Structure 1
Amino acid sequence: MINTITLNPSLDYIVKVDSFKVDKLNRTEEEQIYAGGKGINVSIVLTNLGVENKALGYVAGFTGDEILRQVKNHDVDCDFIKLENGISRINVKLKSDGETEINGSGPEITEDNLKALFEKLSHLEKGDYLVLSGSIPGSVPDDIYEKIMSRLLEKGVEFVVDATKDLLLKVLKYKPFFIKPNHHELAEMFNVTLESDDDIIKYGKKLQEMGAKNVLISMAGDGAILLPENGNPIKREVPKGTLKNSVGAGDSMVAGFICGYLKNNDINEAFKMGIATGSASAFSDELATKEQVNDLLKQMK
């Protein structure tokens, strides 16, 4: 079973305004409301691809109810913890001459709430996968990912981590099966400028030396580089298409990689599936569907 965790999900309120003006009345041209959160995105895409999974995390208030409603409408199996106080955050994304984001802080997560999450995670077994992705809310310890992984390591649970900088670096000692930084995040982790594929491979290997098994570095329109646990680095280009929405593309790549690997334990097949699935979301207004992914797979060598 694959499990995803979204500690601080959101309702993403996306509005488009023609030439936004400060201190003036502005009327929207377009409005969209989506359930947001990297783990939620992974769960939705896995479900779209026909892979059984369960979404875990926290929700609160009327916004939490709407998040659950939307996620369940995607036929995702949810097991979120409902908090008694506060509301799940609302993130505002304003598209006008430029793009502005205002992210909410989310509800407070107490020690008892954390114990409830650990109780749910205690039922994971050998061979299960746990996807830890995204930032963490300020009300939980900054080593929460470490605490989760240390408790499950001896059970034989496989970890997939998609996080930035210290949040990722500190969990490499638990030997995650798969991590997916992008090239900007990789450069930030080591405070360097990456000028070539060789540079990306060099620092990707450092992540392996620190404990990661399979490292996939995404590079947007320039494709991606995979450093497999066993074997030489592999680079793949992205299929042709028109970029419509980059939000969720990285999460879709994670879902596609997992789906591809589970088919026959082939890491190259996983890489190919990850590229196709990430691209399918990037070329669509919503998250990738199985049909879109299959169409792109036909293009790829």
Structure 2
Amino acid sequence: MIATVTFNPALDYIVRVSDMRLGSINRATYERVLPGGKGINVSIVLGNLGHESRALGFVAGFTGNELVRLCRDAGVSCDFVHVNEGMTRINVKVKAAEETELNGQGPAISAENVDELLAKLDQLVEGDTLVISGSVPTILPHDMYERIMTRLDGRGVRVIVDAERDLLTRVLPLHPFLVKPNNHELGDIFGVELKTRDEVIPYAKKLQEMGAANVFVSMAGEGGVLVAETGEVFQSPAATGTVVNSVGAGDSSVAGFIAGLMETGSYEQAFHMALATGSASAFSEELATRPEVEALLARNA
């Protein structure tokens, strides 16, 4: 089984405005409501690639009900904890000459809600994969990543972590199967600026020395780097194409890596699948589909 955790999912309300003016009425020329959250994105893309997963996290209120409906419409199996107080947040994304975002707060998650999530995670067994990604809302304990990984330690569950700075570095002693910073996040950890794939490699190896089994660094238009637990290092430029929407591209690459590794057992093939899936999402209004990914793989073979 593959499971994903999104601590603070959202309804993403996306609007386009031709001429955004503060302090006055603005009329949208386009609007769309999509399920939002890094783990949810991973689950949607996994489904698009033909692999089932279970999306976990916290939802509340009428917005939470709509989030579950949208996830199910996208083919995602949902097993969220339903919170009594508050509502699932709405994130407003205004696309104009400049892009502006207004993110909601999210529900009031209790200690009992956390225990319920942990009980769901106890169902994972040896050979399963868990993806933990995104920020932890302030209402939750700051060490949620560590709590989950400590609870699962020794069970043979492959844990993939996609998070920034301290959230990432604090779990390294617990030996995640894969971590996926981008080059900017990796540079922030070590206080350096990383622009090229060759510059990334030694710092990816440092994360490996600190405890990660595999380190995949996504680099948007520069492609990416994988330092595998086998000692192999793979790097590749990105596929060429027009970026339409970069939101979810990193999450898509995580889904692509999982799918590629499940299908081939090869880190090299998983790496190329990850890059193609991330690019396919970036080149589309919506998240990557299998035909889009296979077209990019064939073009760059």
Partner of 1:209: 209
**Residue in structure 2 matched with residue 265 of structure 1 by the alignment:** 265
TM, length-normalised to structure 1 = 0.98
- Paired with 1:196 and 1:115, the residues of 2 have a C-alpha distance of 43
Q: Aligned equivalents of 2:218 and 2:264: distance in 1? A: 23
Q: Alignment partner of 2:29: what SS?
A: strand
Give the whole-Å Cα distance in 2 for the aligned partners of 1:76 and 1:50. 11
* Structure-2 separation of matches of 1:164 and 1:235: 22
Matches within 5 A, 1:254-293: 254-293=254-293
Give distance in 2, aligned partners of 1:232 and 1:86: 47
* Residues 1:17 and 2:21 are matched in the alignment: no
- The residue aligned with 1:49 is 49
For 1:261 and 1:269, the matched residues in 2 are separated by 7
For structure 2, the 5+ residue unaligned runs are: none
Asked whether 1:220 is paired with 2:224, we answer no
Instruction: Please say if residues 197 and 224 of structure 2, whose CA atoms lie closer than 8 Å, have aligned partners that are also in contact.
Output: no
Q: Which one-letter code corresponds to 1:48 in the other structure? A: N
RMSD: 1.0
Q: How does 1:1-301 map to 2 (within 5 A)?
A: 1-301=1-301
Counterpart code for 1:71: C
Deviation, 1:201, is 0.9
1:194 CA drift (Å):
2.1
Alignment partners' CA distance in 2, 1:149 and 1:18: 46
Deviation at 1:196, TM superposition (A): 3.8
What displacement does 1:153 show?
1.1
Amino acid at match of 1:95: K
Q: Deviations over 1:57-78 (max 9, x none)?
A: 1110011011000000011111
Q: CA deviation at 1:232?
A: 3.1
State how far apart, in whole Å, the 2-side matches of 1:293 and 1:273 are: 8
Query: Which whole-Å CA distance do the structure 2 matches of 1:45 and 1:284 have between them?
Result: 13
Distance 1:209 1:5 in 2: 26
Once the 2 structures are TM-superposed, how far is the Cα of residue 195 of structure 1 from its aligned partner?
A: 4.6
SS for the counterpart of 2:286 is coil
Distance 2:267 2:197 in 1: 20
- The answer to which of 14-23 and 213-222 deviates more is 14-23
The answer as to whether partners of 2:183 and 2:195 remain within 8 angstroms in 1 is no
- 1:10 deviates by 0.2
Moved more, 278-287 or 234-243: 234-243
Deviations 1:82-129 (A, max 9, x none): 111110001111111211111111011110000101111111101111
For residue 228 of structure 1, report the CA deviation from its aligned partner: 0.9
1:249 Cα deviation from its structure 2 partner: 0.5
More deviation, 231-240/172-181: 231-240
1:280 is matched by which residue type in structure 2? A
Amino acid at match of 2:185: E
Retained in 1: the 8 A contact 2:216–2:227?
yes
Look up the equivalent residue of 2:249 and give its one-letter code. A
Q: Distance in 1 between the 2:109 and 2:287 partners?
A: 29
Contact 2:181/2:216 (<8 A) preserved? yes
Letter aligned with residue 263 of structure 1: E
* Residues in 1 aligned to 2:275 and 2:17: alpha-carbon distance in whole angstroms: 33
Q: 2-side partners of 1:185 and 1:234: how far apart?
A: 19
Count of residue pairs the alignment pairs up: 301
Rounded Cα–Cα distance in structure 2 between residues aligned with 1:193 and 1:249? 21
